[in-house]
Amino acid sequence: MAFVPYCEHDIFVSYAHVDDEPAPGVEKGWVTTLVEGLRGELARKLGRSDSCSIWMDHQLSRHVQITPEIMDTLQKTAILLVILSPGYIASEWCERERCTFLAMVQERVRSGSRVFIVEFDEVTERPCEFEDLLGYRFWVRGQEGEPPRTLGMPQLNPDNLRDQPYYDRLNKLRSNLAEELKQLKETAETPAPVTSVQEPEEQESDSRPVVFLAEVTDDLEPLRDEVKGYLDQAGLRVLPETWYPRNPTAFREAVDRDIAQSVLFAQLLSDAAGKKSPDLPSGYTGLQYKLATESGKPVLQWRRPDLDMDKIREKDAHHCDFLERNTVVAVGIEEFKQRIVDRAFYRPPPPVPKRTNALIFVDTETEDRSLAEAVCDVLDRYGVGHALPVCADKPAESRSDLEGNLLECDALIIIYARATVTWVRGQLLQCRKASFKRERPLGALAIYEGPPAPKDPLGMKLSNMQTLDCSMGLNEGELKSFLDSIQPERNP
């Protein structure tokens, strides 16, 4: 019995017979194993053992003539699940039958019905009907020169860490299938409103900020999925929503289209540059970055802090230079996620008239830098000069930069968000030390208390020090009051 009302089956599985041939000594084929894994977990998620009806397409899997019975079954099934592979593409269907099947797939997509694509192996050219569908990739590229490897082949072993990516992607697939089936059931059970005149339905516009989260090399795909899930939960829309075509020209067009909708470009970088070609000397990784910079959108890039840059330079000096750009941060992934959220949600109000010619030093720890940059955006709109601490590899350079800023700035803001109380106290002591060398007193001093709250008390206060309460997020009113407090003789 189907879970979705008015359907004979919930899921129609279409695959190539060659992809379900068991390996020598293995009892079940890859597709059968996948479907069994889906069936049991879907029953648990939907509430009962017989709640989900899955129809395995044994006839189409052998590429025989598509009968009216098969077409009728497909039409009466809620979701189409395609196991995409070179074998699927190279099927021996006659042109008429193949086109009939794919035309129905395209019609279902246009009408809002879900088509799920499971990528059994790498396919260089998809049928055009599948180009806009995001696949669940169950394969990974091997080392340089080696062919792609299908996850879970030849046989799954739950105790083998090598097979963990298979289970991660299977869990994501079945969770999304369960969510879609529940939504289809709810829609089918909700009576349509009775109206005398049929009016076209208005689609709700998606007002969420859009982040472009670039495609990554295969080793970072699980991490990209994790970041995407975090951004989804934070209320952001993440692009791309489909796999891009591998044709370089079509790829560029698709990336340009999605970046144009985005407020921010974010990219996860590996120690490997990824696949390159004569048409793409910098690979898809470099191309996405190039298109983002040409668009003028803000760029945030990430790499692991523990990468051995010397080894990477020996192997690929060009990629090492790419990893050392000033847009790349080497921080923990949790901090990077938060940086994306902070930058994506910040919306500056309209420009305001210039208020002061003061230079304000915004002192920040590395993990609060994205928040400090947002503060600087506000100061910039008020026409106020500002400076951030330099990101230097050598401690001596950082100390020199700090001393110079503390001596020359007209006002100081110290960011106290994720920084420790010890660090903030240390910066205040540095400020006091610099005050004895300054030619004029510091015009204003503030501790910017940002999220998360509550904060450990500083137990320390310098003369004329203010506290800006921004624990609930960027508070422009507090910053405006701080600007008003700067000594009048520094105003124009």
pLDDT tens track, the chain, 492 positions: 788 888 888 888 888 888 888 988 888 899 999 998 888 888 888 876 667 888 886 655 555 556 677 777 777 888 888 888 888 887 665 445 556 666 766 676 655 557 888 999 888 777 776 766 767 889 887 665 677 888 888 888 877 777 888 888 888 888 888 888 888 888 777 765 555 555 545 555 678 899 999 988 878 888 998 999 899 888 999 998 777 777 788 888 989 999 999 999 999 999 988 777 777 788 888 999 999 999 999 999 999 999 999 999 998 899 999 999 888 999 999 999 999 998 888 766 555 555 557 899 999 999 899 899 999 998 988 889 999 999 878 888 999 999 999 999 999 999 999 999 999 999 999 999 999 999 889 989 999 998 887 889 999 999 889 999 888 778 888 898 898 888 554 444
Q: Cα separation of 167 and 173, whole Å? A: 10
Domain 210-344, CATH homologous superfamily name and number:
Toll/interleukin-1 receptor homology (TIR) domain (3.40.50.10140)
Q: Cα separation of 129 and 472, whole Å? A: 47
Q: Quick: pLDDT tens for 285-324.
A: 899 999 999 999 999 999 999 999 999 999 889 999 999 9
Mean pLDDT of the chain: 83
Residue 3 makes CB contacts below 8 A (sequence gap 6+) with 10, 46, 51, 52, 53, 78, 181, 185
Q: Quick: pLDDT tens for 223-273.
A: 998 999 899 888 999 998 777 777 788 888 989 999 999 999 999 999 988
DSSP reduced 3-state for 106: helix
Is domain 348-490 given the CATH code 3.90.1150.150 in the classification? no
Paired strand residues for 413: 362, 446
Q: Which fold has domain 9-189?
A: Rossmann fold (3.40.50)
Would you list the DSSP string of 170-217? HHHHHHHHHHHHHHHHHHHHSPPPP-SS--PPPPPP--S-EEEE----
What's the pTM?
0.53
The CA-atom distances, in angstroms, between 50 and each of 3, 171, 214 are 9, 20, 40
Q: Do domains 9-189 and 348-490 have the same CATH topology?
A: yes
Domain borders along the chain are 9-189, 210-344, 348-490
Nearest CA to 478 among 421, 432, 386, 413? 413
